[in-house]
Structure 1
Amino acid sequence: MHRALRFLDLVHLLCIEIAGDLPQYGYGPGASRDLAALARTCKTFQEAALDLLWAHQNNMMVNILMCMPDDLWRVGSDGRRTLDITRPIGTSDWERPFIYMRRVKKFIYRDNTMPASTIFEMLDLAFPGDHLFPNLRFLGWNSDCAAASLPMIRIFLSPKITEIVLAIQSSIHHLSFLPTLAVKCRDMKIASIRCPITEVLRPTVIRSLSLFICGLGSLQTLFVYDLDQTAFIHLAHLRTLTSLEIGHPEGFNPSCGVPDEGIFLSLRNLRFRFVTPESLGHFLRPFGNSPLISLNISVTTDASTNPGLYSSIVENLSTSSRATLGQLTVSSNQPHVIGETMITPLFCLPYLTVLSLSSQNGFDLDDATLSDMAAAWPCIETLELRFTSFSLARTITPRATLRALQAFAHHCPKLRKLQVRFDASVVPEWDGTTVLGSLIGISINQSSISAPVPAVASFLSHVFPHLAYVQTCYWEWEGLGDVDEHELDDVVIHNRRWKAVERLLPAYVPKEDEDEDENDEDEASSEEGGAD
């Protein structure tokens, strides 16, 4: 045996390499077969291979049950074992399952992976230990659809659980479980609790959620629909909290009973959903001194317009927060078009790498404003100006043109994805100097195009030599076939023209870029030859 295989960490890494990437619900049949074969044929790799094989499984409970003696199961007429237990379970029946249950680190409850409730009740009564999976770290449980399944969760509540994703009903029976969960899993770091809230049950649901939150002292990430004032103050003083998402905040007053300083000092990621435009600043104020790197806000539809939406966000960020904020997402369905005066307050966030803005009626920006945007965000990697109603967007003629794209090529060297609407009726002359090598995709939000397709493709290829795709936000039904353009809708016509531009992009890539690619290939070949 090679001396390196004496290091357990190295053996574990080799097993991971053999199994490949881990999907969400565990390894597939191929990787599972490889790990099982490795465990059976090589003693050196046995423990590491079994650990990986059992850590994340899609059919977890069935595999555990199949480890028990064969005479526990009734054989059906088709020759298959069913889940009918034929005799009482003895202590010795658990010896083999114990070998594997300690390896389980992640369990996700799904109806098709659990035995019938009567079988599970018998397993629960007969189990000689405290926790079915004593080393469990992640528990996902959906009792929203199957209300009777929640009592089964007790035997899974290992004290080592650090992450839980729980969906329950807003019944007194389910809500009574939440405070107990905090007691049994005190080391929980990540919690996502989803529970439908009606106006009648809102006080009861929020109180139970808050009792759960206040029972945890080392939370790092939390998602809840709402919470009360007591829970909010508890979270404000948690030095461990780095990510917070509140789905429908109505049960607390963020500015009441909370000091101006010394709160949310570790918070990096903040998300609010369904906040009214008028209360936006109210909700953001307590987080003014948080070192935020990501802020995600969903604003509810309101009959009145709020031209100060973005300025309200900036005004409630401290100077230090403006310097740390790298990702900003704002979704709004307010019935108004976003123009220059609304968007300019965001220019004081110079370190943005991701900016995604959504508006029902879209954006009305000219070339000068887009140029200012490019100059204001030199670190930007993804910029999205989204429409949520394309039918309304079609009624607005964009003032921005292809010329504005040169500003992004000049000021934003890291930009890889761009979504913006513009008018492609005139193709400007390429200045010969502004070239952006990073941009690989552009989404043009049903932009009109009347300029010659080859001219547009040539311009885009010179400005963005690595541009690979043009997304039009339109899917064309194949049944349209080769219909004459005069018989088609404008959206279909523009979509076809932009797709023609996309196909022509490789033909217009500047020659020097092709030469660089060839040189890179030659150098790579030389290095390989030298290595040989």
Structure 2
Amino acid sequence: MLQVSVGVGSAPPQTLHRCLQIPEIILQVFAEVALQHSPNTTLAALARTCRVFEQPALELLWADPGPYTLHYILNCFPPGLFAYSADQPCHWQPLTLTVPPSDWARPRRYCNLEGGGGGPGGVGKKLSDPISVIRTLNPPWASYHEPHCAELSILGGTSPDAVLFPRLRKLVISVPGSDNPDRWLRSLFQSLLSPTLRFVTVEETFDPEVYPDIDVTPLIQMIVSHTPQLTTLVLITSDSLHVASDLFRNLCHLQVLTMSYMADNMLPHVAQLKSLKELTIGELDLAARPSKTLQALDNQCTFPSLEILAIENVDVLRLTQIMHLFRLSPLHTLWISPLLHTDLTTADMTAFYRSVDAYVNKQTLQQFQYELRSSSLSHVDISADALRSLQGFSGLTRLYIECSGKYLVRDSDIEALACAWPALETFVLHPTEPAQRTRLTLSFLVALATHCPCLAAIDVSFDATVVPTTIAIDDSGKTLIKTPLAVLSLNTGFTPIKNPIEVAHFLAHLFPHLSIALESDWDPTDRSIESEAGLTEASNIYAARWNEVSAIIQKLAAEGKEEGK
């Protein structure tokens, strides 16, 4: 019953009573269910037991099913469908009961659920993807009440439909270890690989040394051959994966490819994917010399649509030899991290940066990230010539370089780069050790503030022991900074400092909103820094001084706000 207070004209309001309509009752019940600790369990029970609630409850449940998606589906079947025992929770045996078509009605309604409307009165969330995610993360030895791969693969063979989820768009599946992998993995994949799939993630969750006989290559081949509309493929597998390279040619709609490991022989086929926009590789295994197949690509259109390239572990010397493959790519993000254990020199680094200058599109590149974080490569420095190779990328918004060696740049080099990068928002030359500071002084900050009005974050170690006496000003006495920087985060790394008061006033004048975030990497409690660099006393002193700088800047900012009122 619903109570409503109604008033007409000057008459006092009267309380009217009316019965709730079905859609309103459903909404009221769902509001109460949402307050429970496990609302999805209640929604699933409502869908199974009440015809009025079935459709709206399924739609609301399917909008955000959580990790128990398959559990709700299995509960739609009669109990006792599978054989279980205490010592072996799930036997890989046929179903103990025959599943008549009538028992498939409710699971099929769940598995075929389409997004869009909702139940009576529009109850339920709209689904952007019909059946968004199916996860099979439980290994086959999980307790019997958990949904596991065995049940799913067995059910798939009895389904009236060719696949369990005919409208499936996204599949995230982990491949667990098993003593009989071929007996159920193929059946499992056949049950799940709907031709409507757009997004597939496959992740190994077993130790290859424990289960050496499991080869996921045939499973990947099944994915490629059964999902012609695939746009995103993520393969988190061991280095032993050797996918038939020519299969990639069938993925003509693929836009995003992520692989934990890519062999040299796969690259030529991936390079010819016309729709590929994003390529992420955990480890790229390149031969010492480009293969004949790679050399044959020199005059072909390779990576014509690639916008994002991220490679975590690669031999930089070998990567330099194939950078020409990206000459036609509209790259806007380039992220490279060399192998930790490799023989590199500063000249090798410079050669790679020059290859970026020679082959990467200068009109499209916006983000450049290069991480070299290995103590064994502490002798590998980033030269000024290397950074100057990036000067032609006028649209650069983010420069992030992390190096175990030194940055061989001076204030004049940074000023030239700042003039070339008017859109720069993030500037990071991050050192990993106190001894690897740059030769920069506080003057380089003036150059960045003057020529990069969009700058929001800086992370550089420099020398703050000497404070510039002046900042360039115009005839009216105003600083030559194009716009006041609304937000600025400054990490001074392992910067030595002598006079915190002078530095604080200098920074506050240069960056009026710096009080948001000012940090340094000096940490008196970090024993690794002290023992490796012998900077126990300096760590304490510099950390205290930068804390004082931060406090002064915050005080100046607060005083400025009071004066502005």
Query: Relative to total residues, which structure has the larger helix share, 1 or 2?
Result: 1
Q: Are 2:175 and 1:143 aligned?
A: yes
Q: Are 2:257 and 1:243 aligned?
A: no
Q: What does 1:463-478 correspond to in 2, within 5 Å?
A: 463-467=510-514, 468-473=516-521, 477=525
- Code of the residue aligned with 2:198 in structure 1: it is T
Q: Is the 8 A contact 1:458 1:509 kept in 2?
A: no
Q: CA deviation at 1:426?
A: 2.7
Q: CA deviation at 1:464?
A: 1.8
- Code of the residue aligned with 1:190 in structure 2: it is T
- Shift in alpha-carbon separation, 1:31–1:241, aligned structure 2, 3 A: farther
Q: Distance in 1 between matches of 2:442 and 2:502?
A: 11
The number of equivalent residue pairs is 468
CA RMSD of aligned residues (A): 4.1
Q: Distance in 2 between matches of 1:420 and 1:121?
A: 54
Q: Distance in 2 between matches of 1:463 and 1:242?
A: 40
**Helix, strand or coil for the counterpart of 2:407?**
coil
Aligned position for 1:127: 159
Aligned position for 1:184: 226
Q: CA deviation at 1:146?
A: 6.0
Aligned position for 2:399: 355
Q: Distance in 1 between matches of 2:485 and 2:297?
A: 48
- Code of the residue aligned with 1:153 in structure 2: it is F
What whole-Å deviation, never above 9, does each CA across 1:186-227 have from its counterpart, x for those lacking one? 1111112232225xxxxxx43x24144233222111123224
Q: Are 2:97 and 1:88 aligned?
A: yes
Q: Is the 8 A contact 1:55 1:106 kept in 2?
A: no
Q: Distance in 1 between matches of 2:83 and 2:222?
A: 37
Q: Are 2:350 and 1:340 aligned?
A: no
Aligned position for 1:275: 314
Q: Distance in 1 between matches of 2:328 and 2:175?
A: 38
Q: Distance in 1 between matches of 2:351 and 2:561?
A: 42
**Helix, strand or coil for the counterpart of 1:347?**
coil
Q: CA deviation at 1:463?
A: 1.7
Q: Is the 8 A contact 2:437 2:494 kept in 1?
A: no
Q: CA deviation at 1:52?
A: 5.2
Q: Is the 8 A contact 1:424 1:449 kept in 2?
A: yes
- Code of the residue aligned with 2:388 in structure 1: it is T
Q: TM-score when scaled to structure 2?
A: 0.71
Tell me which of 507, 517, 526 is aligned to 2:555: 507
Aligned position for 1:111: 138
Q: Which sections of structure 2, spanning at least 5 residues, go unmatched? A: 1-26, 114-130, 472-477, 528-534
Aligned position for 1:427: 467
Q: Distance in 2 between matches of 1:90 and 1:317?
A: 64
Q: Distance in 2 between matches of 1:99 and 1:360?
A: 57
Tell me which of 253, 260, 265 is aligned to 1:218: 253
Aligned position for 1:296: 335
Q: CA deviation at 1:421?
A: 0.5
- Shift in alpha-carbon separation, 1:466–1:266, aligned structure 2, 3 A: same
Structure 1, 331-340 or 416-425: larger mean CA deviation: 331-340
Aligned position for 2:202: 166
- Shift in alpha-carbon separation, 1:314–1:324, aligned structure 2, 3 A: farther
Select the structure of larger CA radius of gyration. 2
Q: CA deviation at 1:292?
A: 1.2
Tell me which of 192, 203, 220 is aligned to 1:156: 192
Aligned position for 1:53: 61
What whole-Å deviation, never above 9, does each CA across 1:93-142 have from its counterpart, x for those lacking one? 33222232224221233127953555445434443332222222111122
**Helix, strand or coil for the counterpart of 2:109?**
helix
Q: CA deviation at 1:236?
A: 3.2
Q: Is the 8 A contact 1:249 1:272 kept in 2?
A: no
Q: Distance in 1 between matches of 2:369 and 2:396?
A: 11
- Code of the residue aligned with 2:547 in structure 1: it is K
Aligned position for 2:8: none
Q: Which sections of structure 1, spanning at least 5 residues, go unmatched? A: 1-14, 20-26, 77-81, 199-204, 480-486, 519-532
What whole-Å deviation, never above 9, does each CA across 1:484-505 have from its counterpart, x for those lacking one? xxx9542243233323333333
Tell me which of 514, 517, 539 is aligned to 1:491: 539
- Shift in alpha-carbon separation, 1:349–1:75, aligned structure 2, 3 A: closer
Q: TM-score when scaled to structure 1?
A: 0.75
Q: Is the 8 A contact 1:410 1:436 kept in 2?
A: no
Q: CA deviation at 1:420?
A: 0.5
